[in-house]
């Protein structure tokens, strides 16, 4: 019986074959469409954005690096078996140790969608992950958080995370708001911050 890694490998191979025929299978829910059709393209259109970290990989995010063609995209995922859904530059790691893998002030954006409350659960790990991501951002760099404001995913909501206090609230790329509930059913929210520029 094939294990999880074999299943993901087969899935990635099949999806890759379908993708190459031009039919990219993906979720069509409103929260995904907002991210894929508005937020990521707006981020990609920003000439200041050339280095992006995407945290958390799944079959339905395999095409996200291609949605940021102007940037060098690094993907990071704690589960080694899901590396098949990562990009060309992929790091198998716990986001809590992000700054052991990525140089300080080297990223223009960190996209952390569906990770908080989906494995990144313990308050100390969350603080380490977000503080580390903040260190990896250049001044002015963007931290985009996608999270579900619904139990049990919202045990550690953003306004309780001290590491975010060091960042300034910002507009979500493509939207004129810091915060949006992109899908009512699962309370999938996007929120954006920027690392402050030096005074």
Ligand X SMILES: C[S@@+](CC[C@H](N)C(=O)[O-])C[C@H]1O[C@@H](n2cnc3c(N)ncnc32)[C@H](O)[C@@H]1O
Which residues form the interface with ligand X (CB under 6 A)?
55-58, 61, 76-79, 82, 94-96, 113-115, 118-120
How many CB atoms are located within 10 Å of the residue 198 CB?
5
58 vs 170, beta carbon nearer ligand X: 58
Rounded Cα distance between 119 and 167, Å, is 23
Report the nearest approach of ligand X to the CB of residue 48 (Å).
23
Nearer to ligand X, 19 or 140 (CB): 19
Instruction: Tell me the residue number closest to ligand X, measured at CB.
Output: 119
Task: Give, rounded to a whole angstrom, the gap between the first and last alpha carbons of the chain.
Answer: 59
Task: Report whether 136 contacts 100 (CB < 8 A).
Answer: no
Cβ closest to ligand X, residue 58 vs residue 180: 58
Judged by beta carbon, residue 94 or residue 149, the one nearer ligand X is: 94
The residue among 39 and 167 lying less far from ligand X, judged by its C-beta, is 39
Compute the least distance from the CB of residue 101 to ligand X, in Å. Answer: 11
Q: Which residues pair with 110 in a beta bridge?
A: 53, 143
CB of 192 to ligand X, least distance (A): 15
């Amino acid at each position: 019986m094939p294990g999880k890694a074999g299943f993901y490998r087969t899935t990635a191979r099949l999806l890759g074959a379908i993708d190459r025929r031009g039919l990219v299978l993906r979720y069509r829910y409103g929260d995904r469409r907002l991210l894929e059709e508005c937020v990521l393209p707006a981020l990609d259109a920003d000439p200041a954005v050339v280095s992006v970290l995407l945290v958390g990989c799944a079959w339905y995010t395999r095409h996200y690096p291609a949605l940021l063609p102007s940037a060098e995209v690094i993907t990071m995922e704690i589960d080694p078996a899901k590396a098949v859904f990562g990009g060309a530059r992929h790091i198998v790691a716990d986001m809590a140790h992000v700054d052991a893998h990525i140089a300080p002030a080297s990223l223009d954006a960190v996209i952390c969608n569906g990770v908080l409350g989906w494995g990144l659960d313990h308050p100390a790990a969350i603080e380490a992950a977000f503080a580390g991501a903040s260190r990896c951002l250049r001044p002015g760099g963007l931290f985009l958080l996608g999270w579900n404001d619904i139990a049990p995913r919202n045990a550690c909501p953003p306004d309780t995370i001290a590491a975010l206090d060091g960042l300034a609230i910002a507009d979500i790329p493509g939207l004129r708001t810091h915060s949006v509930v992109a899908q009512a059913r699962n309370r999938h929210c996007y929120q954006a911050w920027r690392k402050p520029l030096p005074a």
